Amino acid sequence: MEPAPNSTPTPTCKHTPPCPPADAPDHGAALVTAFVPGQGYALLCNGVLRLEDTGEVLPDGQVVPPYLIPAGGSPGSRQPAGHA
């Protein structure tokens, strides 16, 4: 039997409360463990690589495309790039 989604603890997360795993919808809420502005990325505690253009690469290699925040919107109202 496979574990339920989002039930697997993040192996690199050593703090409490633990960060959401990379496969959780809120995976972007994980803490930044390394920030490299010259290269344009940040590594999150759950292994997600957040890119400067708002795209992401998950630990399994899956790519999350960049998104745009609509004018007057908030980060919670994000839209995929190119869909204004």
Residue 7 included in any domain: no
54 lies in some domain: yes
Q: Is residue 50 part of a domain?
A: yes
Does 26 reside within a domain?
no
Structural domain tally of the chain? Answer: 1
How high is the pLDDT of residue 6? 46
Please report whether residue 45 resides in a domain. yes
- pLDDT value at position 34? 94
User: 62 lies in a domain?
Assistant: yes
Q: What predicted TM-score, i.e. pTM, was given to this entire model?
A: 0.66
For the chain, give the percent of residues with pLDDT over 90: 44
Q: Which domain holds residue 64?
A: 36-80
Q: For position 14, what pLDDT does the model report?
A: 79
Q: Which has the minimum average pLDDT: 15-24, 54-63, 67-76?
A: 67-76
Radius of gyration from C-alpha coordinates of the chain = 14
- Mean pLDDT over residues 29-40, rounded? 92
Specify if 14 maps to a domain. no
Higher-pLDDT residue of 4 and 10 is 10
What SS3 class is residue 29? Answer: helix
